[in-house]
Copies of this chain bind each other. A is one copy, B any other.
Amino acid sequence: METYELVKTKATAAKKAAAELAVTGTAVKNKALVAMAQALLDRQQEILQANAEDMRQAADKGMKASMLDRLKLTEQRIASMAEGLEQVAVLPDPVGTVVGGSRLANGMTVTKVRVPLGVIGIIYEARPNVTADAAGLCLKSGNAVILKGGSEAMQSNKVIASVLSEAAEKAGIPQGAVQFIDTSDRQAVTDLIHMNGLVDVVIPRGGAGLIKAVVMNATVPVIETGAGVCHTFVDASADVQMAMDIAYNAKVQRPSVCNAMETLLVHKDIAGKFLPPMLEKYFAAGVEIRGDERVQAFSGQVLPAVEEDWSTEYGDLRLSVKVVDSLQEALAHIAAYSTGHSECIVTSDYANARQFQLRVDAAAVYVNASTRFTDGFEFGFGAEIGISTQKLHARGPMALPELTSTKYLIDGSGQVRG
């Protein structure tokens, strides 16, 4: 089949399934999620075999070690995919939640309720666990899903998707609710993001290149899960030890993720006390520091920062550091270079804390806590499909409610408009 026909066939089947899935009861969905978890465990040998095949091909093509690690499945990783599905089973079902309403003067009642989005396209890269995570979250929120994984994980994703969709259907989920696009033709992404009328939203999950390509080319609505150039600003009044703990955690604990810090801003009045021990701690952890001139003055080991550094999401143990004269300068720097993900001030000053939270335009604005907390699980949502850095529909960690839309139900007794 031509790629376009393949994608359209799957999208049509997904749309058909979505209409039924939207009215499928919570109990059936929960039973299916548990069955899907069990099926992953029952069929883990098939999954591991397929993954071994992907790993072999990737190694042959010279994939680097960090990418190979993302691709690799183990018994433990399959178990944690299964556990994830079981956790989604026990979360509240957002569908049908009444989020507002009123009785109007003419006696009509208006009730706003959550309904599924419909058909969600997920476009993702190397990690095969996204197949299970996304399928589980979409199913629980009543959405049909079309999964388009990276070609490097094709065999793994294909087996996982088929295990999940078989188990779901056996448990009473409408046929076709979990679709997997089993072609490596890159045209499939282009086709998927143009399926207006069949696909309600696409969510790209992966590197900046993938996300940009989807955002710039899709005609279907997109939720952008964008890059994180996250800042920590150490205010003049900060507790030095607290600032060190937060700035260390935000950079070092897991540098590859989007909520890790990339730029540290330090008020000039605290730089002398804060920077020497902080830099030492970073160097001990193997962090490469790129600083402006005032930072360089504190250590010969600091490399000079260039303009590009301020807008770079390193995703590794590199950090840009700048000394600023004021809260205002910190705010201006953040406004200029932030990607609107997570920003933090460490301060003891009430007014500055308030000003920072008011002024900074980002999904998550922290006072005295590490930006690393921007995460659906950490925020207590019980799940996460991604972190939105756009302002439309959802901003910040997206969980089940963010995978729904709403509709208005109007009940009357013959009202007409005058």
Contact = CB atoms under 8 A, between A and B. Distances in A.
Interface of A: 19, 22-23, 102, 104, 108, 110, 115, 117-118, 196, 200-201, 215-217, 219, 221-223, 239, 242, 245-246, 248-250, 253-254, 335, 353, 357-359, 361-370, 372-374, 378-380, 390-393, 395-396, 405-417
A409 B363 CA distance: 8
Nearest 7 pairs of A and B residues by beta carbon: A369-B412, A249-B416, A391-B405, A393-B393, A372-B417, A242-B414, A369-B415
B416 A372 contact: yes
Contact of A108 (B215, B219, B373): B373
A412 B200 CA distance: 38
A105 to B, nearest CB: 8
Nearest to A242: B414
A392 B245 contact: no
B414 A239 contact: yes
- Identical subunits present: 2
Contacts of A395: 405-408
Contacts of A396: 406-408
B408 A365 contact: yes
B201 A392 contact: yes
Q: Which of A200, A369, A378, A415 has the most CB of B within 10 A?
A: A369
A249 B106 CA distance: 15
B392 A221 contact: yes
A387 B219 CA distance: 20
Contacts of A372: 416-417
Contacts of A390: 200, 221
Nearest to A332: B19
Contact of A392 (B19, B117, B413): B117
Contacts of A358: 23
Contact of A335 (B19, B223, B253): B19
A253 B410 contact: no
B414 A246 contact: yes
A368 B107 CA distance: 12
A242 to B, nearest CB: 4
Given A104-B380, A410-B369, A416 B364 contact: no
A408 B370 contact: no
Contacts of A380: 102, 104, 110
A364 B408 contact: yes
B411 A368 contact: yes
A367 B411 contact: yes
A223 to B, nearest CB: 7
Contacts of A408: 363-365, 374, 379, 395-396
B361 A22 contact: yes
Contacts of A353: 411
A391 B117 contact: yes
Contacts of A391: 117-118, 200-201, 221, 405
A217 B196 CA distance: 12
A108 B369 contact: yes
A411 B253 CA distance: 20
A9 B36 CA distance: 53
B417 A373 contact: yes
A154 B199 CA distance: 37
